[in-house]
C-alpha cells in the first residue's frame, strides 16, 4: 500500500496548540499512532515536507517509531544539515519527484512537491500534482492539484483517496500548452 501526507510538524508547539493538543508530546504520539494503525513495514509512506521542528536525535526517534518505507520531499522547514544526518531513515530525500504507478493496466503520474504549483510537467496530459505547505487554506478543487497535508483530515491519504478525488477534476490550462 502507498500512503501520502505532508506537514506533520512533529515538535512544533504552535501546530500542537493549533491542532487542539495540550503539548507536542501528545500531538507527536497521536500522529505516530494514527500512522502506525494503517502503515505496515511493507508499505510506502511519502512525506511531502515539514517533518519536524526538533533536533536530529528527537526526529530520528520519531522516524524509528514510524512504520513503512519512508520517502521525503523536502519542505521549507526541513533543514538540509539535519536531513543529511537523517538520510538513513529514508529510501530517498528529494526536492521534487514524479511518481509513476501502473494499477490494473492504467498508468498514473503524480508530481510530488511540498509547495502548490499552478502548472507542472505533463499537467495537460493527466499528471496530478499533490503537495502540502498550505494546511488546507488553498482551495484546489478547481484543478488537478491537491493538498494532502495532515491538517486536511488528520490522517494519511492513500492513492485510492487521491484517485477518487482527482478522477473527476479537469486541469485548468494557464499556459500555451494543450
Angle between helices 24-38 and 56-65 (to 10 degrees): 30
Q: Give percent helix, percent strand, percent coil of the chain, each to the nearest 5.
A: 30, 25, 45
Name which of 19, 102, 1, 2 is nearest 10 in CA terms: 19
Q: Can you give the pLDDT at residue 168?
A: 86
Is 172 a member of any domain? no
Q: Strand ranges (DSSP E) for the chain?
A: 2-5, 44-47, 69-73, 92-94, 96-103, 106-113, 128-131, 145-147, 157-158
Q: Supply the DSSP symbol for 125.
A: G
Q: Can you give the pLDDT at residue 140?
A: 65
Q: How confident is the model at residue 143 (pLDDT cuts 50, 70, 90)?
A: confident
Which residues form the domain of 113? 2-166
Is 171 a member of any domain? no
Q: How confident is the model at residue 16 (pLDDT cuts 50, 70, 90)?
A: very high
Is 173 a member of any domain? no
Residue appearing with cell numbers 485548468: 172
Q: pLDDT per residue over 148-171, tens digit each?
A: 999 999 999 999 999 999 988 888
- Overall domain count for the chain: 1
Q: pLDDT per residue over 26-80, tens digit each?
A: 999 999 999 999 999 999 999 999 999 999 999 999 999 999 999 999 999 998 9
Is 35 a member of any domain? yes
Is 42 a member of any domain? yes
* CATH code assigned at 13: 3.60.21.10
The lowest-confidence range among 90-94, 135-139, 162-166 is 135-139
Q: Can you give the pLDDT at residue 3?
A: 98
- Taking the model in full, what pTM does it have? 0.94
Q: Can you give the pLDDT at residue 142?
A: 73
Amino acid at each position: 500500500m502507498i500512503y501520502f501526507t505532508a506537514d506533520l510538524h512533529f515538535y512544533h508547539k504552535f501546530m500542537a496548540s493549533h491542532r487542539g493538543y495540550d503539548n507536542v508530546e501528545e500531538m507527536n504520539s497521536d500522529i505516530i499512532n494514527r500512522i502506525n494503525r494503517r502503515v505496515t513495514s511493507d508499505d510506502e509512506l511519502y512525506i511531502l515536507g515539514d517533518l519536524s521542528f526538533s533536533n536530529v536525535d528527537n526526529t530520528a526517534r520519531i522516524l524509528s517509531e514510524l512504520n513503512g518505507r519512508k520517502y521525503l520531499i523536502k519542505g521549507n522547514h526541513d533543514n538540509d544539515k539535519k536531513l543529511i544526518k537523517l538520510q538513513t531513515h529514508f529510501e530517498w530525500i528529494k526536492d521534487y519527484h514524479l511518481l509513476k504507478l501502473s494499477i490494473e493496466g492504467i498508468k498514473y503520474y503524480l508530481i510530488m512537491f511540498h509547495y502548490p504549483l499552478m502548472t507542472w510537467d505533463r499537467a495537460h496530459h493527466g499528471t496530478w500534482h499533490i503537495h502540502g505547505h498550505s494546511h488546507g487554506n488553498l482551495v484546489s478543487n478547481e484543478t488537478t492539484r491537491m493538498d494532502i497535508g495532515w491538517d486536511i483530515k488528520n490522517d494519511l491519504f492513500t492513492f485510492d483517496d487521491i484517485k477518487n478525488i482527482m478522477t473527476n477534476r479537469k486541469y485548468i490550462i494557464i499556459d500555451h500548452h494543450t
